[in-house]
Amino acid sequence: MRSVAVGGGHGTAVSLRALRRLGDEVTGVVSVADDGGSTGRLRAMLNVAAVGDLRKCLGALADPDNPLTVSFEHRFDVGELAGHTVGNLLLVGLIDATGNLEESVRAVAQVMGVTGSIVPASCEGVVLLASTEEGPTRGQTEVARSSSIRRISLEPALASAPIAAVEAIERADVVLIGPGSLFTSVLAACMVPGITQALAGTTARKIYVANLRPQTPETGDFSLQDHIDALLVHGVVPDLVLVDDASPYAFEPCSIERRAVPLTGRNQLVHDVQKLAEAVLAEMR
């Protein structure tokens, strides 16, 4: 089964781990809009694309016994390196040296023994913009602090998507959208024009994996339908939404097909990889 996960951060890393249990032809299409923490500091210093979400998703598909995988998430805590991870530094070093985001990610994936592919959602770093009730907001960190987001967009508006990302979506049997921060992670990846168009044109089963709870302030008062409406208004049209049967969204009304199933284990704060894999497989039979 050919599968794709679109988004960024921890949520997409979980989706990738789940999809890898269903086959080796898995691709992560990952946002490069982040501007906070270590990633933000490196972007400001070197004018490179955001690498934090790419780092998390590379780790999700990497060989767990590879020495680089083991150290990839190590975070320094002294001097000028404090707060930076080995993975972030390696990625930005390659990007700064080669000037090629996609090739740099591919090189790291090869060294780490990644099963499948990790591809940035855009060929260059982008800035997240939002229209809110308080006025325009710029940058992912600032957008995430808003509780009244109406629409988001990217700068540059016509940022191009890697051919590998577009082709993976077009050829996929299933595409997982999310879970993750709705505007600043999921839609930040989906809003690259080539990705939006590929999602609209694919024959894959497009499954939105709902978050387990509201995310304050970004979607603090959102219903399940509000999440779906936000996707639809930005041109992302899922075929199905998967909802954890113990979440606040489990029995809320929804305008698209909804499946409420167990998606968490002992830790009810995160999606369980095996249960998510089983839920996706059930939808593809």
Largest CA distance in the chain: 53
Distances (CA, A) of 30 to 82, 91, 277: 25, 14, 19
Q: How far separated are the first and last CA of the chain, in Å rounded? A: 11
Q: Are 154 and 31 in contact (CB under 8 A)?
A: no
Q: Are 58 and 105 in contact (CB under 8 A)?
A: yes
Kindly indicate the confidence band of residue 44, based on its pLDDT and cuts at 50, 70 and 90. Answer: confident
The DSSP call for residue 173 is S
What does residue 205 show for φ and ψ, rounded to 5 degrees? Answer: -75, 115
CA angle, 74 then 26 then 7, to 5°: 65
CA angle, 117 then 123 then 126, to 5°: 115
- Residues in contact with 93: Cβ distance below 8 Å, sequence separation at least 6, in sequence order: none
Give the residue among 205, 19, 43 at the shortest CA–CA distance from 117.
19
Distance, CA of 51 to CA of 38 (rounded, Å):
9
pLDDT, tens only, 68-105: 998 998 998 888 888 889 999 999 999 989 999 999 99
- Domains of the chain, by residue range, sit at 3-284
Containing 40, the helix (H) or strand (E) segment is: helix 37-46
Per-residue pLDDT at 70: 86
- Residues in contact with 77: Cβ distance below 8 Å, sequence separation at least 6, in sequence order: 83
Distance, CA of 246 to CA of 248 (rounded, Å):
7
Kindly indicate the confidence band of residue 48, based on its pLDDT and cuts at 50, 70 and 90. Answer: confident
Give just the sign of the alpha carbon dihedral 30, 266, 226, 241. positive
Kindly indicate the confidence band of residue 265, based on its pLDDT and cuts at 50, 70 and 90. Answer: confident
Write down the H helix ranges in 47-185.
52-61, 67-72, 86-98, 101-111, 140-144, 163-171
Q: Could you tell me which CATH class the domain 3-284 is placed in?
A: alpha beta
Q: What is the mean pLDDT of the chain?
A: 94
Please tell me the pTM assigned to this model.
0.95
Containing 195, the helix (H) or strand (E) segment is: helix 193-201
Is residue 53 scored above 90 in pLDDT?
Answer: yes
pLDDT, tens only, 166-221: 999 999 999 999 999 999 999 999 999 999 999 999 999 999 999 999 999 999 99
